[in-house]
Amino acid sequence: MTAADLQTNGSKVRQPIMQARNLVKTFGRVVGLDGVSLDLYPGEVLAIIGDNGAGKSTLIKCLTGAEIPDSGELTVSGQPVHFKRPQDARVHGIETVYQNLAVSPALDVASNLFLGREERLAGPLGKIFRVLDTKGMRRKAKEELTRLGISTLQDVTVPVENLSGGQRQAVAVARAAAFGSKVVVLDEPTAALGVRESNQVLQLVRDLRDRGLPVILISHNMPHVFDVADRIHIQRLGKCAATITPQSHTMTDAVAIMTGAATA
Amino acid sequence: MTQQQTAGPPSAGHADLAEEFLDRQTTLSRIRNILHRYPAVSPALVLLIAVVVFGLLNDRFLRVENLSLITQQVSVVGTLAIAQTLIILTAGIDLSVGAVMILSSMVVAQLAVNNGLPAPVALLAGLIVGLAAGALNGFLVTRFRLPPFIVTLGTLNIFIALTLLYSNGATVRGSAMPDMLTWTGSTFPVGPVRISTGVVVMLLLYIAIAFILGKTAWGRHVYAVGDDKEAARLAGIAVNKVLMSVYLAAGAVLAVGAWIQIGRTNAASPNAGLDLNLDSITAVVIGGTSLFGGRGSVWGTLLGALIVGVFRNGLSLAGLDVLYQTLAVGILIILAVSIDQWIRKVKS
| Total H helices, total E strands in chain A | 10, 10
Q: What is the 3-state secondary structure (H, E, C) of B3-60?
A: HHHHHHHHHHHHHHHHHHHHHCCCHHHHHHHHHHHCCCHHHHHHHHHHHHHHHHHCHH
Check residue B23 and give its pLDDT: 52
The whole model's pTM is what?
Answer: 0.84
Regarding an ipTM greater than 0.85, the answer is no
Tell me the C-alpha to C-alpha distance, in Å, between residue A43 and each of A213, A230, B95: 5, 9, 55
Please name the helix (run of DSSP H) or strand (run of DSSP E) that holds residue B231, with its range, or none. helix B229-234
Return d(Cα B193, Cα B216) in angstroms, integer.
35
Q: Which burial class, exposed, middle or buried, applies to B136 when counting CB atoms under 10 A from its CB (0-12, 13-18, 19+)?
A: buried
Return d(Cα B137, Cα B152) in angstroms, integer.
7
Task: Concatenate the DSSP letters of all residues of A203-233 into one string.
Answer: HHHHHHHHTT--EEEE-S-HHHHHHH-SEEE
Q: Which of B221, B236, B346 sits opposite A90 (nearest CB)?
A: B236
Return d(Cα A58, Cα A32) in angstroms, integer.
6
Judged by DSSP in three states, B75 sits in helix
Domains of chain A: 15-104+168-259 (3.40.50.300)
Judged by DSSP in three states, B235 sits in coil
Number of neighbouring beta carbons within 10 Å of residue B49: 11
Are the beta carbons of B159 and B135 closer than 8 angstroms? no
Which is higher by pLDDT, B21 or B192?
Answer: B192
Q: What is the 3-state secondary structure (H, E, C) of A145-208?
A: HHHCCCCCCCCCCCEHHHCCHHHHHHHHHHHHHHHCCCEEEEECCCCCCCHHHHHHHHHHHHHH
Q: Which residues contact A212 (CB under 8 A, 6 or more apart)?
A: A1, A42, A43
Min CA distance, B196 vs chain A (Å)? Answer: 28
Query: Model confidence over A133-161: pLDDT tens digits?
Result: 989 999 988 888 887 777 777 788 888 88
Check residue A194 and give its pLDDT: 80
Q: What is the β-pairing status of strands B187-190 and A94-97?
A: unpaired
Are the beta carbons of A86 and A64 closer than 8 angstroms? yes
Q: Which of A98, A117, A132 sits opposite B234 (nearest CB)?
A: A98
Is any Cβ of chain B less than 8 angstroms from the Cβ of A87?
yes
Is any Cβ of chain B less than 8 angstroms from the Cβ of A116?
yes
Closest CA to B69 of B184, B258, B195, B188: B195
Are the beta carbons of B296 and B284 closer than 8 angstroms? yes
Is any Cβ of chain B less than 8 angstroms from the Cβ of A127?
no
Return d(Cα B227, Cα A104) in angstroms, integer.
6
Closest CA to A69 of A21, A3, A101: A21
Judged by DSSP in three states, A234 sits in strand
**Phi/psi at A75 (5° precision):** -125, 145
> Is pLDDT above 50 for B35?
yes
- The angle subtended at Cα B313 by Cα B93 and Cα B337, nearest 5°, is 35
Q: Which of A103, A118, A134 sits opposite B231 (nearest CB)?
A: A103
Query: Model confidence over B153-188: pLDDT tens digits?
Result: 999 999 999 999 999 989 999 888 999 999 999 999
Pick among A67, A107, A129 to test the B interface (most B CBs inside 10 A): A107
Are the beta carbons of A134 and A79 closer than 8 angstroms? no
Q: Give residue B143's Cα distance to chain centre.
A: 25
Min CA distance, B345 vs chain A (Å)? Answer: 10
- Average per-residue pLDDT in chain B? 88
Kindly state the average pLDDT of the residues A221-231. 93
CB contact under 8 Å between B234 and A96, yes or no, is yes
Query: Model confidence over B302-331: pLDDT tens digits?
Result: 999 999 999 889 988 888 888 888 888 889
Is any Cβ of chain B less than 8 angstroms from the Cβ of A154?
no
CB contact under 8 Å between B236 and A159, yes or no, is no
Q: Give just the sign of the alpha carbon dihedral A240, A252, A53, B235.
A: positive
Are the beta carbons of B80 and B268 closer than 8 angstroms? no
Residues of A in contact with B291 (CB under 8 A): none
> Is pLDDT above 80 for B14?
no
> Is pLDDT above 90 for A98?
no
Min CA distance, B112 vs chain A (Å)? Answer: 34
> Is pLDDT above 90 for B242?
yes
> Is pLDDT above 80 for B270?
yes
A-B C-beta contacts closer than 8 Å? 76
Q: Which residues contact A26 (CB under 8 A, 6 or more apart)?
A: A32, A70
Query: Model confidence over B103-162: pLDDT tens digits?
Result: 999 999 999 999 999 999 999 999 999 999 999 999 999 999 999 999 999 999 999 999
Q: DSSP code of A120?
A: B
Pick among A97, A113, A115, A129 to test the B interface (most B CBs inside 10 A): A115
Instruction: Name the region of A163 (left: φ>0; alpha: ψ -120 to 50; beta: rest).
Output: beta
Number of neighbouring beta carbons within 10 Å of residue B144: 8
Closest CA to B220 of A104, A15, A98: A104
CB contact under 8 Å between B294 and A106, yes or no, is yes
Closest CA to B88 of B285, B230, B259: B285
Return d(Cα B28, Cα B151) in angstroms, integer.
40
Domains of chain B: 40-342 (1.10.3470)
